[in-house]
Amino acid sequence: MSSEELKRAAAQGEATPKGIDTSTASVARVYDALLGGKDNYEVDRVVYRSVLESSPEAPRTAQAIRQWLVRVVRWLAGPAGMDQFLDLGSGLPTVENTHEVAQRVNPEARVVYIDNDPIVGAHGRALLEENDYTHFAEADLTRPSELLQHPVVTQHLDLERPYVLMQCNTLHHLMDEENPYEIMRSYLDALPSGSYAALCHFWDPAEEDAELSEFAKDMEARLTESSMGSGRFRTRKQIESYLEGLELVEPGLVMLHEWWPEGPRLSPLTNMDQVFLSGVGRKP
């Protein structure tokens, strides 16, 4: 089924396309709802509405995450000189995708998107049909060795020279029993010297702000107890461990709005704005 057919099916309540599970919420489709997209189902909107009950401004935070990604990719493709990007758990295409940002700086920058959601695959392939430097692979990011040997990855990225590993809102959807630290360590061990990793993750500021920590715990419960079943808010120390061994780019591991903002903040921060940590690290 094509991207346009998927959109019509979602909008008109038609039969679900083969391979699309609407019995449980999808991480990619819930984020799509937060960004104002239409590629989601009622099961996803149930989670979306629960998030809004606790944080009505959550869609604005979703936009802030996208703005962070734009700043990060622009810096990596520009001053850092990176021309290869492996974007894990990329989600549904929206505005200012990784390849669009990178290729404005360097038209020959290569980007490979990875996701295991079939609806993301359908949209991703449709979007990238005419872009020779951007590709999509349906794969499971929890299996690093298999993913790094995927033919789409190995054909379009040179993994022997530096590349960027993008982990934007991915690891917090791996529960503790899924060993997210070991998974990330496998990816970092495979990176050549001079590579970068970019990370954005739910944060529980338990040791820094008790009120925000209560908010984080409530949001975690809403997400993990929903049909989506994931969304761990981890401590600063736990999130730092994902970038262990890397040289953190200034300003380090910080809240979204603190990573090289483009100007003064025009509106007050919400609770949701303040429970993410983000950072970029370089492998020496």
* Residues sharing a CB contact under 8 Å with residue 87, sequence separation 6 or more, in sequence order: 98, 111, 112, 113, 114, 166, 168
Nearest residue to 167 via CA among 141, 137, 147: 141
Tokens representing residue 226 in the block: 């929903």
State whether CATH 3.40.470.10 applies to domain 58-282: no
User: Do 113 and 89 contact (CB within 8 A), yes or no?
Assistant: no
Please, what is the Cα angle at 66 between 31 and 181, to 5 degrees? Answer: 75
86 three-class SS: strand
Domain extent listing, the chain: 3-54, 58-282
pTM, entire model:
0.90
Each residue's pLDDT, cut to its tens digit, for the chain (284 residues) gives: 333 433 444 444 444 555 677 889 999 899 889 988 888 899 999 999 999 999 999 999 999 999 999 999 999 999 999 999 999 998 877 778 999 999 999 999 999 999 988 777 777 677 666 689 999 999 999 999 999 999 999 999 999 999 999 999 999 999 999 999 999 999 999 999 999 999 999 999 999 999 999 999 999 999 999 999 999 999 999 999 999 999 999 999 999 999 999 888 888 999 999 999 999 999 99
